[in-house]
Amino acid sequence: MIEVKNISKGFKGKLVLDNISCVFEKGKTNLIIGASGSGKTVLMKCVVGLFEVDKGAVYFDGRNFSEMDFKERKPIRQEIGMVFQGGALFDSLSVEKNVMFPLNMFTTQTYKEKLDRVNFCLQRVNLVNVNKLYPSEISGGMKKRVAIARAIAMNPQYLFCDEPNSGLDPQTSIVIDNLIKELTEEYNMTTIINTHDMNSVIEMGDHIVFIYKGKKFWEGSYEELRDTDNKEVNDFVFATKIMKAVKANG
């Protein structure tokens, strides 16, 4: 479980996150939604420690992450997997080496053990015969899947996904969404997903946090989201004709 307590963050005098508190539960896919520029990426980067918070604290299963220094954070970092918007695969390494990278850095396994783990993770994300390919030789959807495979290589307790299906076609997006949901349940991870794709909200939103102008505006389940009469939430979530039809049909 990850607890965010009263965090604020600003850049050059401009407040981007204003006193946000929320709880992301274990075994659930927690979604952070909001319009572009609302602060959801900054919130995620504050939670994982890529940005230091100005005020407040982030707790990983009771451990105050915000107060820790680089050395103290290391053990927690090894429990974190993250899928970046563009995949963030290392260009100079093959798919196999990318997935093996955290294993090389933090385990004492033999090459065979590491290779077995890499193959297991790649098979888990439905990728076969791509080990020797480089990131420039695979499609966007495959890059996202390799990024997921790399993120789960170390058996993480916490999985963060920053817009995991941006730039993907609807079918591939559903595959990625389902994969993240399955992995979350399978490994009982605390998963936090940053998205503004409403299909993802329908597909996998166990718990949803709506960020509006840097503040937590709304929080609840998908069913509660569908039935809410909050104007800002409705304006954002049901902006498209398809979503309006979803709401109308219940």
Residue closer to other proteins by CB (options 97, 247) is: 97
Query: Does the footprint of other proteins cover residue 52 (CB under 8 A)?
Result: no
The Cα 32–Cα 20 span in angstroms is: 12
**Candidate segments 1-9, 11-19, 48-56, 58-66, binder of other proteins by CB under 8 A:** 48-56
Query: Does the footprint of other proteins cover residue 67 (CB under 8 A)?
Result: no
- State the Rg of the chain over Cα: 18
Query: Does the footprint of other proteins cover residue 109 (CB under 8 A)?
Result: no
Please classify residue 69 by burial: count the beta carbons closer than 10 Å to its beta carbon, then call 0-12 exposed, 13-18 middle and 19+ buried: exposed
Query: Does the footprint of other proteins cover residue 78 (CB under 8 A)?
Result: yes
Position 118, amino acid: V
The only residue of 43, 47, 82, 233 in contact with other proteins, by rule CB under 8 A: 82
Task: Report the DSSP beta bridge partners of residue 11.
Answer: 14
Query: Does the footprint of other proteins cover residue 111 (CB under 8 A)?
Result: no
The Cα 142–Cα 95 span in angstroms is: 10
Query: Does the footprint of other proteins cover residue 242 (CB under 8 A)?
Result: no
Residue closer to other proteins by CB (options 110, 129) is: 110
Q: Euclidean distance between the first and final Cα of the chain, in Å?
A: 31
Query: Does the footprint of other proteins cover residue 144 (CB under 8 A)?
Result: no
The Cα 145–Cα 63 span in angstroms is: 30
Query: Does the footprint of other proteins cover residue 11 (CB under 8 A)?
Result: no
Tokens of 40: 């959801």
Beta strands in 12-126 (DSSP E): 14-24, 29-33, 55-60, 63-64, 80-83
The Cα 45–Cα 67 span in angstroms is: 15
Query: Does the footprint of other proteins cover residue 84 (CB under 8 A)?
Result: yes
**Candidate segments 85-93, 109-117, 225-233, 236-244, binder of other proteins by CB under 8 A:** 85-93
The only residue of 57, 88, 115, 174 in contact with other proteins, by rule CB under 8 A: 88
Are 147 and 173 spatial neighbours (Cβ–Cβ below 8 Å)?
A: no
Residue closer to other proteins by CB (options 160, 238) is: 160
Q: How far is the CB of 92 from other proteins (least distance, A)?
A: 8
User: By the criterion CB under 8 A, which residues form the site for other proteins?
Assistant: 48-50, 70, 73-75, 77-78, 80, 82, 84-86, 88-91, 101-102, 104-106, 160
